[in-house]
Amino acid sequence: MQFTELGLAEPILKALAAKKYGSPTPIQAQAIPVLLKGKDLCGIAQTGTGKTAAFALPSLDHFARNPKPTPLQGCRMLVLSPTRELAAQIAQSFRDYGRFLKLSVEVVFGGVPINRQIRALGRGVDIVVATPGRLLDLIDQRAFTIKDTEIFVLDEADQMMDMGFIHPLKRIAKLLPKERQNLFFSATMPKEIEALAAQFLHDPVKVSVAPQSTTAERVRQQATFVNQAEKQALLNLTIRSEDIDRALIFTRTKHGADRVVRFLEGAGIQAAAIHGNKSQAQRTTALQAFRHGHVKLLVATDIAARGIDVSGVSHVINFEMPNVPEQYVHRIGRTARAGAEGIAISFVADDERPYLKAIERTTKVKLDVVPLPENFVEAVRNLPKAAPQRKGREQTTEQKVKRAEGQRRYQDQQKQQRGTGERAHRPDGEAAAPAKKNFRRRRGGSGVGAHKGAVQKTGGRA
Ligand code: AMP
């Protein structure tokens, strides 16, 4: 089947052609015809199946065929997402697919100032993608209303429940108008999610794609048994021996993620972390750096990484095993996207063996057991210390990238100079030793520029 057979409006087909999408994915082929008829939909599908386009394309088609002014301080379509990253990604998809339509798309989530969002929503927008907490904040401040919503999408419902959004969702359900189209997506459909779906949906058509156990068939799955305390040494060796384009490393806790990053940095390996304790700016920068390949390793907790669509992730490393099998499927689904092949490597400590068993039972795939590398004992013995925990403001990923580049340049220069027998020079070309002296002497001087220059130079060495 081709997209052209689905009866979508011309500007949408043009956008799809620009993105080089030829045929719809299974969830799109099932969902789009139903949604074009205006029916409610309950979809069991996870990220990576193309579900964003499954709900975005027919909705854009509706707006293309039924142009209307946007309601003041309101929207025509509301999409709820559990995480900020996923919300931003969904909004971007709407912009991409709707680029030949004159529609406004806004994304609202917490962790960033609310005033800009209030201003952006004031005139009304066609499509709002929001996380539940910030949406309710805006409604409570009377800056926004959802009473005019024509299409409502609840995405990643099971994660919403995991994250404790049940009460915000119930409130939001009451604020929506009676007449509307509802779309509900969840990767899993246990009883409590079904009950939640029943609150939103009216006589829905149910579609389901790729049962969990088959999602990751293209992922080569390996497990290595290792003591918890020795995992960091194994990680360092794995990173150095594997041919990694981009790797996502999962830990169970935020603290654990930071620890892994510090140990990697201690070993001279650059990595960024993404988890709930990071500010929104840090999360966005880390994700961008990872997306653009400036940082090859992203250490993440499950919540932060769920729904993230980054192409070219060659490896997923489970530094700690998830205690829920579905979480494992989500994690390894971050690699092998869009037909690519990927590798998932799991570090399994003794107390995690039951998790591995449960995972194998759910996925019906037995992981290949890979023994510890030959030089492992030595690597454990010589494990570099963790980089010290930074006090005060943490370095941003941008700063880390710059620092890594500086370090690399410096090391290259040193190598070169060792070759030519010259004295070691600092990366900015200044001789290292006199810098302090310069600083003292210049501080004594009256020139503002001199002072500034000296401070910068000293700072460059930190
Ligand atoms: P999603 O499950 O919505 O996160 O989409 C997963 C990835 O598949 C995204 O990178 C989309 O851009 C891509 N994608 C979605 N639909 C198609 C399609 N019909 N053909 C090719 N790629 C697609």
Tell me, what's the pLDDT at 186?
92
Task: Point out the least confidently predicted range of 6-10, 324-328, 404-408.
Answer: 404-408
- If pLDDT is split at 50, 70 and 90, which confidence band does 96 have? very high
Q: What is the pLDDT of residue 282?
A: 85
**Protein residue closest via CA to atom 6 of ligand 1:** 48
The gap from C-alpha 389 to its chain's centroid, in whole angstroms, comes to 24
User: What confidence tier does 435 reach under pLDDT thresholds 50, 70, 90?
Assistant: very low
What does the pLDDT read at residue 303? Answer: 74
Rounded distance between C-alpha atoms, residue 255 and residue 295, angstroms:
20
Can you tell me the distance from the alpha carbon of 171 to that of 137, in angstroms, rounded to the nearest whole number? 12
Query: 451: CA distance to ligand 1 center in Å?
Result: 54
Among the atoms of ligand 1, which is closest to the Cα of residue 307? 4
Strand partners, 208: 44
Mean pLDDT of 364-389: 87
pLDDT tens digits, 17-34: 999 998 999 999 999 999
For residue 445, what pLDDT is reported?
A: 34
Q: Is the pLDDT of residue 456 over 60?
A: no
Q: Is 36 a residue whose pLDDT tops 70?
A: yes
> At 274, phi and psi to the nearest 5?
-140, 120
Q: Residues 69-86: what's their mean pLDDT?
A: 95
Rounded distance between C-alpha atoms, residue 238 and residue 163, angstroms: 32
| CATH number given to 3-208 | 3.40.50.300
In this prediction, residues 96-102 reach a mean pLDDT of: 96
Domains of the chain by residue range: 3-208, 219-381
Q: Which amino acid is at 185?
A: F
Taking the centre of ligand 1 as the mean of its atom positions, its distance from the CA of residue 94, in whole angstroms, is 12
Mutating to test ligand 1, I would choose from 5, 16, 20, 25 the residue with most ligand atoms within 8 A of its C-beta, which is: 25
Fold (topology level) of 219-381: Rossmann fold (3.40.50)
Nearest to 298 by CA among 336, 266, 331, 271: 271
- CA of 110: how far to CAs of 85, 117, 210, 280, 405, in Å? 11, 10, 32, 8, 32
**Ligand 1 atom having least distance to the Cα of 45:** 2
* Phi/psi at 299 (5° precision): -100, 125
Tokens standing for residue 84: 């900020």
Distances (CA, A) of 187 to 211, 338, 374, 378: 9, 18, 40, 43
Dist. CA 364 → ligand 1 center (Å): 26
Q: Would you state the pLDDT for residue 187?
A: 85
Tell me what the pLDDT averaged over the chain comes to: 83
pLDDT at position 457, please?
Answer: 31
d(CA 251, CA 327): 12
What is the model's pLDDT at position 302? 84
Fold matches, 3-208 and 219-381: yes
pLDDT at 419: 52
Assess whether pLDDT exceeds 80 at residue 366.
yes
Task: Give the whole-angstrom CA distance, residue 256 versus residue 234.
Answer: 15
254: phi > 0 → left, psi -120 to 50 → alpha, else beta; which?
alpha
Q: Is the pTM of this model over 0.75?
A: no
Percent of the chain with pLDDT over 90: 57
Q: What is the model's pLDDT at position 245? A: 87
- Say which residue, 268 or 451, is predicted with more confidence: 268
The predicted pLDDT at position 218 comes to 74
Lining residues, ligand 1, CB within 6 Å:
21, 24-25, 28, 47-53, 309, 338
Asked if 79 and 155 count as a contact pair (C-beta separation under 8 A), the reply is yes
CB atoms within 10 A of CB 206: 15
H/E segment holding residue 238: helix 231-241
pLDDT digits (tens, 9 = 90+) for 164-198: 899 999 999 999 999 999 999 998 887 888 999 99
* pLDDT of 100 over the 90 cut: yes
Closest residue by CA, ligand 1 atom 12: 50
Tell me what the mean pLDDT of segment 343-363 comes to: 94
DSSP state, residue 71? P
Which residue in 204, 193, 185, 158 sits closest to 49, CA to CA? 185
Q: What's the N-to-C CA distance of the chain in angstroms?
A: 59
- CA 204 to ligand 1 centroid distance, Å: 24
Strand order across the 125-130 sheet? 105-108, 125-130, 75-80, 151-154, 181-186, 41-44, 205-208
Is pLDDT of 98 > 60?
Answer: yes
Closest CA to 376 of 261, 243, 240: 240
Say how far apart CA 43 and CA 266 lie, in whole Å.
45
Mean pLDDT (whole number) for 207-235: 82
Q: How far is the CA of 8 from the centre of ligand 1 (A)?
A: 17
Which pLDDT does position 398 carry in this prediction?
Answer: 60
SS3 425: strand
Q: What is the largest CA-CA distance in the chain?
A: 80
Closest residue by CA, ligand 1 atom 16: 50
- CB count within 10 Å of CB 433 equals 10
